[in-house]
A and B are shown apart, each in its own frame.
Chain A
Amino acid sequence: MFDAADLTAFFITLKLAAVSTLILLALGTPLAWWLSQTRTRVKVVVEALVALPLVLPPTVLGFYLLIVLGRTGPVGRFMESLGGEPLAFTFAGLVVGSVIYSLPFVVQPLQDGFSSIGRRPLEVAATLGASPVDRFFSVVVPMARASFVTAAVLGFAHTVGEFGVVLMIGGSIPGETQVLSIAIYDHVEALEYGRAHVLAAGLLILSFTLLLAVYAMNRRLRLVRP
């Protein structure tokens, strides 16, 4: 049913989504925590920046990333000066794009989850002798566990589903940057509707299953909405 090229695209998609989700959780958790606790006015600016990928056409984001990461862009030149390759049209470039593009899908559920815990449990933990780091791991993480699941699944699913950013900065290099959504586009362009059907239906089922799992879990945990 799948040919080798499609299978490769499938695994690249999974790898991209998995790597991006891990990086998103690592970066998004402290960012969301800061946003949920801070009272500075800078907060609204940061919130707006984080939310930007929700409204911006992916091609706009992809275009700027291409400029910045490409051979003539600042990051590209920096990479070359270190003896490396520019990130445009590489898997690493895709990861950078995905992380930025999916950031709100990870940060927002985490921020909501952290905010809904409120100050009280943390104050209780402090008066019971828990240090700030201890409080985060012994109170915040377990109380916001549903938000972590939501954030991870949304970040993963959204990365699987992205198209515009990937097309702009990754192109469609089989084995390197060709992900499922691009492969589908290529099949349609080549009028291979049958193969496009298989991949499209596969993505549809995968996305639906992931979301179903999130909503079912939230219904059970009743801590936050995605």
Chain B
Amino acid sequence: MTIRARYQIHLDDFTLNARFSVPDRGVTAVFGPSGSGKTSLLRAIAGLERGPIEYLEIGQEIWQDDHRFLSPHKRPLGFVFQEASLFPHLSVEGNLRYGQKRARNRSPILTFGGVVDLLGTASLLGRNTRDLSGGERQRVAIARALLASPRLLLLDEPLTGLDLESRSEILPYLDRLHEELEIPVFYVSHQPDEVARLADHLLLMNNGEVLAAGPIEEMLTRIDLPLAHGLEAEAIVAARVDRHDDDFGLTYLNSRAGRFTVARINLAPGRPVRLRILARDVSLTIDRQSDTSILNIFPVRVDELIAESAAQMLVRLDAEGVVLLARITRKSASLLNIDVGSRLFAQVKSVAVLS
């Protein structure tokens, strides 16, 4: 099942010109610089912006095309705006019940208690919305959207404008949403770390247009896209906890590329984790080094390489199907005689465990 969309919408200062299809499950990050049309795309999906060309297909249902337009209030979706936008005249519980009451004919995806638990809002129910912190407000807004039993959840930068503390308070709840929700989620963000942590697919926007869309691992490492050329060029690797080594305070993780060794994490063996590896933390050697302090070394094949500047090159590596990026100097590339197809060893200096 797929979500397909085509929009051309003239807005005050630019034109949204989007055509994409993404899978009808998992989290799709809508990523791009500010002003690239991310919020407008979400508003179009919600039916809040109209334009000359409109097409939206969610699974089997067509929500709008040349002849049809489903009004916003008839679309089974949840929209969490950048500012929580709680109703000031209702209590927290009143806000939560607002959407629930109006979703009677939709089959609920979660019970009231289930949503309240999922977002940790039980202790907030009787409170006045004015007395909530930024993080609490945003959690209530997400819970309110979920209680409307949406078929699709739209989150517009739910963490922007929050301080670091509130962000780290909400992120675990978003992780749980990601794990427990079956419905597709569009997540607008311009924070690479949020995207790397939460997204399964990525929809890359610039100047009101969708540049590309695809699985996150692939999108981050495509060297024809700007994502791979930022300071934070990175690869995402899916892995599972294998076992803990308490003597050294380490955890071993299995991935298709091989075994990763990281500082001990508090997850049971078998649990899935996401690893983030920055291109600048990957170096290349011809032979497997044994006299090195680096533990994470993988055999790789050079897939693609491109000069980024007079001094630097970006190398796309294939480690048994897992893609890694390495940023090295052109001089090193020349000395080691690196070219497409070269078989090398990647030394990973640092691995971040995301979830």
Name A's B-contacting residues (CB within 8 A): 120-121, 123-132, 134-135, 138-139, 142-143, 145
Q: How many Å from the CB of B177 to the closest CB on chain A?
A: 17
Please state if A129 and B89 are interface contacts (CB–CB under 8 Å). Answer: no
Among B75, B85, B103, the residue within 8 A (CB) of A124 is B85
**A128-B85 contact in complex given A123-B48, A123-B72, C-beta closer than 8 Å:** no
Please state if A126 and B73 are interface contacts (CB–CB under 8 Å). Answer: yes
Q: Is B213 an interface residue (CB 8 A)?
A: no
Please state if A121 and B87 are interface contacts (CB–CB under 8 Å). Answer: yes
A129 to B89, CA, bound (A): 18
Q: How many Å from the CB of B213 to the closest CB on chain A?
A: 23
Please state if A129 and B148 are interface contacts (CB–CB under 8 Å). Answer: yes
Please state if A128 and B102 are interface contacts (CB–CB under 8 Å). Answer: yes
Please state if A124 and B81 are interface contacts (CB–CB under 8 Å). Answer: yes
Please state if B87 and A129 are interface contacts (CB–CB under 8 Å). Answer: no
**Residues of chain A lying within 8 A (CB to CB) of residue B71:** 126
**Which residue on chain B has the smallest CB distance to residue A143?**
B89
**Residues of chain B lying within 8 A (CB to CB) of residue A139:** 87, 89
Please state if B89 and A127 are interface contacts (CB–CB under 8 Å). Answer: no
Given contacts A131-B73, A134-B102, A143-B89, 11 further A-B contacts (CB under 8 A): A124-B79, A124-B87, A126-B72, A127-B46, A127-B75, A128-B98, A128-B99, A129-B73, A129-B74, A130-B73, A135-B73
In this complex, the interface size class of chain B, counting residues with CB under 8 Å from chain A, is: 20 to 34
B-side interface mostly:
loop
A126 to B72, CA, bound (A): 6
Please state if A129 and B102 are interface contacts (CB–CB under 8 Å). Answer: yes
**Residues of chain B lying within 8 A (CB to CB) of residue A127:** 46, 48, 72-73, 75, 77-79, 145, 148
**Residues of chain B lying within 8 A (CB to CB) of residue A143:** 87-89
Q: How many Å from the CB of B127 to the closest CB on chain A?
A: 18
A127 to B70, CA, bound (A): 12
A154 to B74, CA, bound (A): 39
Q: Is B144 an interface residue (CB 8 A)?
A: yes
A199 to B241, CA, bound (A): 88
11 contacts between A and B (CB under 8 A): A123-B48, A123-B81, A124-B79, A125-B73, A125-B87, A126-B72, A127-B78, A127-B79, A128-B98, A128-B144, A129-B74
How many residue pairs, one in A and one in B, have C-beta atoms under 8 Å apart? 62
Please state if B99 and A129 are interface contacts (CB–CB under 8 Å). Answer: yes
Among A128, A135, A145, the residue within 8 A (CB) of B148 is A128
Interface hub of B77, B83, B102, B103 (most chain A Cβ within 10 A): B102
Interface hub of A126, A131, A143 (most chain B Cβ within 10 A): A126
**Which residue on chain B has the smallest CB distance to residue A145?**
B89
A129 to B77, CA, bound (A): 9
Within 8 A of A (CB), among B266-308: none
Q: How many Å from the CB of A139 to the closest CB on chain B?
A: 7
**Residues of chain B lying within 8 A (CB to CB) of residue A134:** 73, 102
Among B81, B83, B103, the residue within 8 A (CB) of A129 is B103
**Which residue on chain A has the smallest CB distance to residue B84?**
A124
A128 to B94, CA, bound (A): 13
A124 to B129, CA, bound (A): 15
Within 8 A of A (CB), among B21-59: 46, 48
**In the complex, per-residue mask of B290-331: 1 if CB is within 8 Å of any chain A CB, else 0:** 000000000000000000000000000000000000000000
A125 to B99, CA, bound (A): 8
A135 to B48, CA, bound (A): 15
Among B74, B98, B144, the residue within 8 A (CB) of A138 is B98
A131 to B87, CA, bound (A): 16
**Residues of chain A lying within 8 A (CB to CB) of residue B75:** 127
**In the complex, per-residue mask of B131-168: 1 if CB is within 8 Å of any chain A CB, else 0:** 00000000000001100100000000000000000000
